[in-house]
Amino acid sequence: MTEKINKITPEIHDEIMARIKNVEREHNVKVLYAIESGSRAWGFESPNSDFDVRFIYVHKQDWYLSVMLEDKRDVIEYPIVDDIDINGWDVRKALKLLHASNPAIGEWLQSSIVYVNSGDFKHQAVSLFKAHYKIDRGIYHYFNMAKNNYREHLKADLVSYKKYLYVLRALCAVKWIERFNCPPPIEFETLASEVIDDTIILDKICSLVAAKKRATEKTLGPKIPELNQFIEAQLSQFKGSKKGPPLEPNRVAELDKFFQSMLCTHKLNAR
């Protein structure tokens, strides 16, 4: 596996793996994929950032053969303990969200900090996500994330470094989708460097990332006029959603085939 775990100490990595194993035992499931999400995956974690562990799991086949399937709980959640926030989605739920171009599942699939990747789940799921990706939904999601966070958190004289980066990351994601017509990368500095053409603004962003990585999660600082002007200009330039290519009829069949392969590959009924 080539994914990075260097941002996670061996002790934390071992604890996270132990909790993933506990998920499997406690819920009688197989974890197919587990990653680090949030600020550590985005590349601007603070020293006291939580570990946001997200996973996708599969039940035994019989669990899905139920008249009341839609009433069954399809998430597993735990309270945060020792700064580790761990929860996950059933694979069927994850694939339905993938089909809907849910940005969260797209970011999970791009994380470079991977704890579990059973049966090369990541490569196959990434291919499906790209095939199903709807441009207009991606733009709508990230634009509204930027607009709402800017309006609620960045108008005061002292503002959160964290919220600044939430707004800037979302705006850069919009610019990426508009420019390249595909899902944006998850690592913020990679994303920003490809879509911010103004070197002064890019330098301000890089300095802000560096400050966030030295500060605590709740650190406030004076607002940065150049970045506020940039954000307001980007929000005012938004022209509306772009439409992605029409969905091909065989796309849902692809998801069904992948879902069925996850059941068969891990032979959960043989447990």
Nearest to 56 by CA among 141, 129, 132, 122: 122
Q: What tens digit of pLDDT does each residue of 225-255 get?
A: 999 999 999 999 876 555 545 555 567 889 9
Instruction: Pull the structure tokens for residue 205.
Output: 């962003």
Domain 10-133+248-270 shares a fold with domain 135-237: no
Domain ranges across the chain: 10-133+248-270, 135-237
Give the pLDDT of residue 250.
62
Give the pLDDT of residue 173.
96
Local structure of 87: helix, strand or coil: strand
Nearest to 218 by CA among 162, 165, 168: 162
Local structure of 255: helix, strand or coil: helix
CA pair distance 246, 115, nearest whole angstrom: 35
CA pair distance 106, 269, nearest whole angstrom: 29
Q: Which CATH class is domain 135-237?
A: mainly alpha
pLDDT in tens, the chain (271 residues): 344 545 789 999 999 999 999 999 999 999 999 999 999 999 999 999 999 999 999 999 999 999 999 999 999 999 999 999 999 999 999 999 999 999 999 999 999 999 999 988 999 999 999 999 999 989 999 999 999 999 888 888 898 999 999 999 999 999 999 999 999 999 999 999 999 999 999 999 999 999 999 998 888 999 899 999 999 999 998 765 555 455 555 678 899 999 999 998 666 444 4
Record the pTM: 0.90
Among 1.20.120, 3.40.50, 3.30.230, 3.30.460, what is the CATH number of 10-133+248-270?
3.30.460
Give the pLDDT of residue 157.
85
CA pair distance 248, 128, nearest whole angstrom: 12
Pairing of strands 51-58, 84-90: parallel
CB 147 within 8 A of CB 236: no
Give the pLDDT of residue 2.
40
Burial of residue 15 (CB within 10 Å: 0-12, 13-18, 19+) is middle
Q: What tens digit of pLDDT does each residue of 76-101 get?
A: 999 999 999 999 999 999 999 999 99
Q: Rounded mean pLDDT of the chain?
A: 90
CA pair distance 141, 150, nearest whole angstrom: 14
Scanning the structure block, which residue is given the tokens 């009341």?
A: 68
CA pair distance 170, 143, nearest whole angstrom: 6
Half-sphere exposure of 86 (CA within 13 A, CB side): 24
Give the pLDDT of residue 237.
84
